[in-house]
């Protein structure tokens, strides 16, 4: 956890995690860059900590945050996987008749 924050209990960490999940799901209009930034900020993690938890390089997370790289689906799934989330594509029910 980012040292700029005071340590919190496990219960508070779980609440914080749920708040971040709710926030991400409530804002589907956010870009992937915004989502990664909000995830990191909400969980009170440094870029290095998020990278380590996600199993990706520091530079990869940094590039996504700065908008230098959109990231791959695999990379974004690793980052979102920190919260147990996964990036997915779904068929729009309203446009199903086109197939």
CA distances from 86 to 1, 18, 73, 83 (A): 22, 15, 9, 9
Domain assignment present for residue 3? The answer is: no
Q: Residue 1's closest CA among 66, 57, 52?
A: 52
Domain assignment present for residue 2? The answer is: no
Domain assignment present for residue 1? The answer is: no
Task: Determine the average pLDDT of the residues in 73-81.
Answer: 93
- What was the pLDDT predicted at 91? 78
Q: Which helix (H) or strand (E) holds 14?
A: helix 10-26
Q: Residue 42's closest CA among 30, 55, 56?
A: 30
Domain assignment present for residue 4? The answer is: no
What domain range includes position 51?
10-98
61 has pLDDT over 90: yes
Model pLDDT for residues 24-33, shown as the tens digit of each residue: 999 999 998 9
Residue 28 DSSP code: T
Number of domains in the chain: 1
Domain assignment present for residue 20? The answer is: yes
Q: Which residue has the higher pLDDT, 93 or 19?
A: 19
The burial class, CB within 10 Å (0-12 / 13-18 / 19+), for 80 is: buried
CATH number, domain with residue 18: 1.10.260.40
Domain assignment present for residue 60? The answer is: yes
**Contact present, 64 and 36 (Cβ < 8 Å):** yes
Domain assignment present for residue 22? The answer is: yes
Domain assignment present for residue 18? The answer is: yes
């Amino acid at each position: 956890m980012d040292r700029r924050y005071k340590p919190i209990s496990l219960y508070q960490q779980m609440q914080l995690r749920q708040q971040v999940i709710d926030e991400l799901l409530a804002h589907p209009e956010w870009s992937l860059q915004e989502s990664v930034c909000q995830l990191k900020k909400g969980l009170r993690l440094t870029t290095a900590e998020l990278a380590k938890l996600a199993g990706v390089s520091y530079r990869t997370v940094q590039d996504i945050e700065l908008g230098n790289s959109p990231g791959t689906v695999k990379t974004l799934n690793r980052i979102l996987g920190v919260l147990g989330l996964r990036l997915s594509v779904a068929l729009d029910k309203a446009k199903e008749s086109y197939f």
